[in-house]
Amino acid sequence: MSISLSTLKAICAAVAVLFVLAQPAAAQLSFKPTADAVHEDQLLKALKEGDKITGRITIPDPMARSLIQPAGKDWRDFQRHTLPVIGGVAILGMLALLTIFLMVRGRIRVEHGLSGIKILRFASFERFTHWLTASCFIILA
- Tens digits of residue pLDDT in 119-131: 999 999 999 999 9
- pLDDT of 29 reads 52
141 vs 137: CA distance, rounded Å: 6
- For 58-82, write each residue's pLDDT tens digit: 888 877 777 777 777 788 889 999 9
Predicted confidence at residue 122, as pLDDT, reads 92
Residue 5 predicted with pLDDT over 80: no
User: Closest by alpha carbon to 122, among 130, 111, 133?
Assistant: 130
Q: What share of the chain has pLDDT > 70, as a percent?
A: 76
pLDDT at 36 over 70: no
pLDDT at 20 over 80: no
Q: Where residue 43 falls among pLDDT bands split at 50, 70, 90?
A: low
Give me the amino acid identity at 98. Answer: L
